[in-house]
Amino acid sequence: MVTQAMEHDPARRQRVRRTLWITGTLAVAFFVLSILSMLKVG
C-alpha cells in the first residue's frame, strides 16, 4: 500500500526520473571520454 501511494506521487516520480537522467548522462559522458582517451593513446 505504501509503495503504491509513493508511486502515484508525481513529484517523487519526477525527482527519480531526473536522478536517472543525470546518472545516465554522466555514464555516457564518462564512456565517451574513456573512448577518446583510448584513441588518443593509441
**Count of residues in the chain:** 42
Give the per-residue pLDDT at 1.
Answer: 55
| Grid coordinates of 37 | 582517451
Give the per-residue pLDDT at 5.
Answer: 62
| Cβ–Cβ under 8 Å, residues 6 and 12 | yes
| Grid coordinates of 31 | 564512456
pLDDT, tens digit, for every residue of 1-42?
A: 566 665 678 898 899 999 999 999 999 999 999 999 999 987
Give the per-residue pLDDT at 3.
Answer: 63
DSSP-based helix, strand, coil % in the chain, nearest 5: 90, 0, 10
